[in-house]
Amino acid sequence: MTQTVKLDIMSDPICPWCYIGKTHLDKALAAVPDHPFVIEWHPFQLNPDMPEEGMGRREYLERKFGGKEGAVRAYAPVVQHAENAGLKIDFEGMKRTPNTLDAHRLIHWAGIEGKQNAAVDALFDAYFVQTRDIGDHEVLADIADGIGMDAAIVLKLLKSDADRQDISDRDTHSRQMGVNSVPTFIVANQHAVPGAQPPEMWERVIGEIMSQLEASPAN
């Protein structure tokens, strides 16, 4: 299929629903390998006011949910949906909640090299499975190395202000567009699909789009 359709995804690497949502989308894309989607990931920080150095996980849970019991209640549906998707999230192992601005910078740079999807996958795995601090520059450089990027260059960029303002501006732009939760998927610059939708929904959407493309003359 020569015609393509843009799929823009607003996401944050520490958002469990984004991790689940990507897993569902990936299953649908694997089931329809000739899908027309061209995917681009966009920054949206769940905690835009997070200190640059992040904070201890316990303090974060206290502030956001009033403590561990509140967090357990809030995360119960996440754990269930993750298990249903075949994912295991190690909430107990997490020690810090990072500021994700630098992780978003890495995703941006990976996109320039055509490795954005790999970067998103690696960040999700590092945070949710390996419980690494993805706000740490050395961790991010190691993740970059693991997907074939030049770790030394990435580390040098991270220590600079490169693209910091651009990431913040794009995050702000998404909020001004009305995005207030993630993941949010924008299909063909027109249709917003919020939340971690099941693979079956994506397969239906892909099928409808492919039928429309086949019915319309190529541009």
Residue count (the chain)? 219
Task: Give 100-150 pLDDT, tens digit per residue.
Answer: 999 999 999 999 999 999 999 999 999 999 999 999 999 999 999 999 999
Convert the pLDDT of each residue in 17-53 to its tens digit.
999 999 999 999 999 999 999 999 999 999 999 999 9
Kind and range of the H or E element at 135? none
pLDDT of residue 116: 98
The one-letter amino acid at 93: G
**Residue 63, token pair as written in the block:** 């502030």
Give me the helices (H) in the chain, please.
Answer: 16-31, 57-65, 68-84, 101-112, 116-124, 137-146, 151-158, 164-176, 199-215
Among residues 35, 36, 11, the alpha carbon closest in space to that of 23 is found at: 11
Domains and CATH numbers, the chain: 5-215 (3.40.30.10)
